[in-house]
Amino acid sequence: MSDLPAGLTTGQRVAVRSRIDPPPTSGPTLTDTVGELVGIDATHLRIATRTGEVSVARDRVVAARVIPPKPTRRGAPHRAIPLEDLHLVMTRGQPGVEETWLGAPGSGWLLRAGLGWTGRSNSALPVGDPGLPLPEAVDAVEAWFDERGLIPLIMLPRPTGAATADDPLGALLLERGWVEGNPADVLTGRTADLLAPTPAPAGLRLTTSPSADEAWFAGGSPRLLDHLDAARQVLALPAHQVFATATTDEGEVAAVVRVAINDGWAGVFGLHVSPAYRGRGIGRWLTVEALRIAAAAGASLTYLQVEPDNAPAQHLYRGLGLAPHHDYVYLALRGARA
């Protein structure tokens, strides 16, 4: 297997099936290696397993797939993953055009700038140790965003029900005059549990593509259309994704959705149903069909982010079988220039 799955990179947790060399005279001829992919070159994969590093010849690989990070808590995988690890998965589904780590890469604070489109791509994500005392780390965040002409914004993950002031960073930001915005719920589930048969609405056809075409962009939300140039750049970045479009027989776009696939997860983004076509189950059908493609590509778990007061979206997603994992809130520096 010379061609590896799309989006396979070092740092991911993988399961690799390969032929045993030399082949045994009896018994299994294949073996599975599970662990973190720490190296890829033209001839071998290097995988850090729980018993040590293993080198697997690429010409003996018969299958390879990315799997979710190993849970650190008991329970269903989509529930057991720590919220910090889940955020690192989610940010790969919608990254910034520019990204910098404050502290150690992968375990510090991730600073993201995405031309001003969406908080996800234009905020600091504090998932670990920034390598500085908190006040100095906040100073560094403020300076980084100010240099780029962006309002300093921090996405603060919180356990469900926790208050911003309960978090040391949240309390510091509020003290310094940062303003708390609206929260967002993070919902998760097993992808297979979300794929209940959903009839296609009459008069609609589904098209999918690994990249967004003009029809998909035309069906996006008003906020996306207001930041179209930025959206084009941001949405070209994820390595493996599905853009799904529902169109009428006359070619009118009724709805769109995007599903980003990485680390064994499917992330649902940008579902928008045109007002003229709402109330017909189109959003549910389109989401399920896009997740069906993601499941076939190895995404066994699903996440999405939705505002608590978006009742139709909450009803749709929870009706599919997604459940709350945690929430987060954005804090912005009051009075900062944009």
Q: How far apart are the first and last CA of the chain?
A: 49
Residue of 138 and 28 predicted with greater confidence: 138
Would 121 be classed as within a structural domain? yes
pLDDT for residue 338 is more than 50: no
pLDDT for residue 163 is more than 50: yes
Identify the domain boundary among 38, 66, 94.
Answer: 66
Sign of CA dihedral 154, 160, 164, 165: negative
Residues paired with 49 in a beta bridge: 52
Contacts 24+ apart (CB under 8 A), 50-59: 56/16, 56/18, 57/18, 57/21, 58/1, 58/2, 58/4, 59/1, 59/2
Q: Give residues with Cβ within 8 angstroms of 200, minimum separation 6.
A: 206, 285
Give one DSSP letter per residue of 119-132, joined into a string: STTSSEEE-S--SS
Query: Given this model, what pLDDT does residue 244 score?
Result: 98
Would 73 be classed as within a structural domain? no
| Domain containing residue 293: CATH number | 3.40.630.30
pLDDT, average across residues 186-213: 95
Does one domain contain both 85 and 115? yes
pLDDT, average across residues 125-143: 95
Would 8 be classed as within a structural domain? no
Would 20 be classed as within a structural domain? yes
Identify the domain boundary among 66, 93, 108.
Answer: 66
* Total domains present in the chain: 3
Would 6 be classed as within a structural domain? no
Pairing of strands 301-306, 265-273: parallel
- Give 215-266 pLDDT, tens digit per residue: 999 999 999 999 999 999 999 999 899 999 999 999 999 999 999 998 899 9
Does one domain contain both 172 and 214? no
- Give 82-103 pLDDT, tens digit per residue: 899 899 999 999 999 999 999 9
- 1-10, 146-155, 302-311: which range is least confident on average? 1-10
Q: Give residues with Cβ within 8 angstroms of 112, minimum separation 6.
A: 91, 95, 96, 98, 99, 120, 121, 122, 123, 124, 125
The confidence band for 274, taking pLDDT boundaries of 50, 70 and 90, is very high
Report the largest interatomic distance among the alpha carbons of the chain, rounded to a whole angstrom: 74
Does one domain contain both 142 and 268? no
Does one domain contain both 319 and 194? yes
**Residue-number span of the structural domain to which 132 is assigned:** 78-183+329-333
pLDDT for residue 129 is more than 50: yes
Does one domain contain both 164 and 197? no
| Average pLDDT of the residues of the chain | 91
Percentage of residues of the chain with pLDDT beyond 90: 71
Rounded Cα–Cα distance for residues 239 and 120 (Å) = 17
Residue (of 194, 202, 150) closest to 287 by Cα position: 194
pLDDT for residue 73 is more than 60: no
Does one domain contain both 194 and 319? yes
Relative orientation angle of helices 282-296 and 311-320, to the nearest 10 degrees: 40
Rounded Cα–Cα distance for residues 302 and 167 (Å) = 27
Query: Given this model, what pLDDT does residue 71 score?
Result: 62
Would 260 be classed as within a structural domain? yes
pLDDT for residue 5 is more than 80: no
Does one domain contain both 207 and 319? yes
Does one domain contain both 195 and 177? no
Does one domain contain both 42 and 160? no
Does one domain contain both 51 and 108? no
Does one domain contain both 45 and 101? no
Would 313 be classed as within a structural domain? yes
Would 72 be classed as within a structural domain? no
Does one domain contain both 225 and 134? no
Residue of 326 and 25 predicted with greater confidence: 326
Identify the domain boundary among 66, 89, 107.
Answer: 66
